[in-house]
Amino acid sequence: MDKTIINTKNAPGAIGPYSQGVKVGNFIYTSGQLPINPKTGELVNDDIKNATKMSLENVKAILEKAGSSLDKVVKTLVLLKDINDFAAMNEVYGEYFTGDYPARSCFQVGKLPKDALVEIEVVAIAE
């Protein structure tokens, strides 16, 4: 099975030895997306709702570059700096995923890169 690397300027560039996304067979795997604005390089960390939106916009951009979309997502992983932000994160998350929801895991973690409030990764079906 071939592996295709996904790279777009519409999401933050990798800052280490990893790819924004990888397509293998009929699936796309994204790296965890911090809430970094790809146009400015600035971390969106003013509140969890804005941070969640930015992370999901970055995921969306990677999927679109690969020819897929958020409605093809089958699994998400959400990492939170503070689990008390779950309800607010979930409100924004629900604006991006409607209808047939993907499976999801959500955890509070000790610390995220750049001290971000959230990081989100997905697995999606390639179209």
* pLDDT 10s digits, 41-74: 999 999 999 999 999 999 999 999 999 999 999 9
Q: How far apart are CA 49 and CA 13, in angstroms?
A: 22
Residue 127 has a pLDDT of: 75
Residues taking part in catalysis:
106
At 71 the pLDDT is 96
**Looking at residue 51, what is its pLDDT?**
98
Closest listed residue to residue 58, CA positions, set 20, 6, 22, 92: 20
- pTM, entire model: 0.96
Instruction: Give the total number of structural domains in the chain.
Output: 1
DSSP 8-65: -TTSPPPSSS--SEEEETTEEEEPPB-SB-TTT--B--S-HHHHHHHHHHHHHHHHHH
- pLDDT of 15 reads 81
Query: How many angstroms separate the CA atoms of 53 and 65, rounded?
Result: 18
pLDDT digits (tens, 9 = 90+) for 74-116: 999 999 999 999 999 999 999 999 989 999 999 999 999 999 9
CATH number (domain holding residue 93): 3.30.1330.40
pLDDT for 1-54, tens place per residue?
899 999 999 999 988 899 999 999 999 999 999 999 999 999 999 999 999 999
Helix, strand, coil percentages, rounded to 5, for the chain? 30, 30, 40
| Residue-number span of the structural domain to which 10 is assigned | 3-125
